Amino acid sequence: MSVTVRVPAKVNVQLGVGGLRADGFHDLANVFFAVALGDEVTATAGGPGTGVTLSCTGPDAEAVPLDDSNLAARAARLLATHHGLAAPDVHLHIAKAIPVAGGMAGGSADGAAALVACDALWGLGTPTEVLLELAAELGSDVPFALVGGVALGRGRGEILEPLPVAGSYHWVFAVADGGLSTPAVFRECDRLREEAGTGSADTEVRTPDADPALLAALADGDAVALAAALTNDLQAAALSLRPALAATLRAGTEAGAIGALVSGSGPTCAFLAKDAESAEAVAAALRASGSCRAAHATYGPVPGAAVAGGA
Ligand code: ATP
């Protein structure tokens, strides 16, 4: 018996980063946007005593850890423990399309997908609120992969408020060679703030809030206004660690993208296009520019992790 779950990647249309807190985290005002570029996780019942096993296919498969650190495996174990199930026997196959360590929350997406897949495979019927709590335990970006659509994340990003959004938007993602470590990008953001003399502590940096112009653009379905309101407080840090991303952002903009930004902690770059045709043209120009490893045209918002099939 098996269950397949499809799960979206995210792009942050706003990523406001507050100062460094005493607990080592930053307060965020994070507007998550789910896009159709996504992974599929298939959970298959394993034979007695096989434990949790993993496999992965896709262009970045060799970069995905197939040990206990994989968020899909951790999710399966956490769900089993929550229900008092002894050592679960399940095989999780990840069909990976989301760039690894690309700032699109791919690992978090697989964690969310594994929660939903194992819940269905084991017939547990876990209430959504409980799945959301388990997701938050796994990581700050995991709850959003369950919810999908567009949502404002506060705290470390895990306190979610779904946002009203009209229409569909056309995106292009330019995938870089190699990833960027999210903690390293946050550290670089703090370092740049110190260097600029503004300070990096939460007592020195204004607590970020959602941008009203961005929220209005989403509610109105206004792609041009959304493009003008895209912001990412981690972008300077990602560019400082990976200066070549400036050429990627320029190539997409020159090809007609109406908005461009680094996705989350990078190094994937995200471009908003005015329509599907323009998105294909921007993706083709990015591929031809040689400034990225791959470019994908896609759209959103789309729903969160959901069962796509079973056998
Ligand atoms: P975020 O945007 O949430 O910071 P990211 O998209 O930059 O994350 P991920 O693709 O989630 O990065 O991968 C970050 C690291 O997580 C990887 O380098 C890998 O070691 C680990 N990881 C654990 N589970 C997975 C998984 N299922 N898929 C990909 N990476 C995983």
CB of 70 closer than 6 A to ligand 1? Answer: yes
Q: Which of 292, 232, 268 is nearest to 99 (CA)?
A: 268
Q: How far is the CA of 126 from the centre of ligand 1 (A)?
A: 25
Token pair belonging to 186: 């946050």
Q: Quick one: CA dihedral 144, 246, 299, 231, positive or negative?
A: positive
123 and 209 inside one domain: no
CB of 107 closer than 6 A to ligand 1? Answer: yes
Q: How far apart are CA 56 and CA 14, in angstroms?
A: 31
Q: Which of 277, 274, 246 is nearest to 261 (CA)?
A: 246
Residue 79 within a domain: yes
136 and 254 inside one domain: no
Contact assessment for residue 100 and residue 106, using Cβ atoms and an 8 Å cutoff? yes
Query: Pocket of ligand 1, candidates 15, 17, 52, 64: which has the most ligand atoms within 8 Å of its Cβ, to mutate?
Result: 64
Token pair belonging to 19: 């100062």
Residue set of the binding site: 99-109
Q: How far is the CA of 99 from the centre of ligand 1 (A)?
A: 9
- CATH code: domain of residue 13: 3.30.230.10
Residue 305 within a domain: no
**In a 3-state reduction of DSSP, which class is residue 285?**
helix
Q: How far is the CA of 8 from the centre of ligand 1 (A)?
A: 14
**Residue 99: partners with Cβ closer than 8 Å, 6 or more residues away:** 60, 106, 173, 175, 176, 179, 268
Residue 306 within a domain: no
Single out the residue in 131, 164, 197 at which a domain terminates.
164
Q: How far apart are CA 196 and CA 220, in angstroms?
A: 37
Residue 117 sits in which domain range?
2-164
CB of 101 closer than 6 A to ligand 1? Answer: yes
- CATH code: domain of residue 218: 3.30.70.890
CB of 141 closer than 6 A to ligand 1? Answer: yes
| Catalytic pick among 27, 60, 141, 190 | 141
Q: Based on the structure, what is the number of domains in the chain?
A: 2
CB of 40 closer than 6 A to ligand 1? Answer: no
Neighbours of 260 (CB within 10 A): 23
What local confidence, expressed as pLDDT, does residue 101 receive?
86
Query: Pocket of ligand 1, candidates 53, 78, 182: which has the most ligand atoms within 8 Å of its Cβ, to mutate?
Result: 182
What local confidence, expressed as pLDDT, does residue 151 receive?
97
56 and 147 inside one domain: yes
- To the query of whether residue 274 is one of the catalytic residues in this protein, the response is no
8 and 135 inside one domain: yes
Atom in ligand 1 nearest the alpha carbon of residue 101? 12
82 and 203 inside one domain: no
51 and 69 inside one domain: yes
Helix (H) or strand (E) holding 10: strand 2-20
**For the whole model, what pTM was predicted?**
0.94
Q: Which of 157, 143, 140 is nearest to 27 (CA)?
A: 157
Single out the residue in 110, 134, 164 at which a domain terminates.
164
264 and 125 inside one domain: no
Letter for the amino acid at 28? L
- To the query of whether residue 141 is one of the catalytic residues in this protein, the response is yes
CB of 227 closer than 6 A to ligand 1? Answer: no
- Give the long-range contacts of residues 130-135, CB within 8 A, separation 24 or more: 130/82, 132/160, 134/75, 134/78, 134/79, 134/82, 135/75, 135/111
- From residue 129, give the alpha-carbon distance in Å to each of 105, 158, 289: 21, 13, 45
What local confidence, expressed as pLDDT, does residue 309 receive?
80
What local confidence, expressed as pLDDT, does residue 310 receive?
75
Which segments of the chain have a pLDDT < 50? none
Q: How far is the CA of 168 from the centre of ligand 1 (A)?
A: 27
Q: How far apart are CA 184 and CA 180, in angstroms?
A: 8
**In a 3-state reduction of DSSP, which class is residue 304?**
coil
What local confidence, expressed as pLDDT, does residue 86 receive?
82
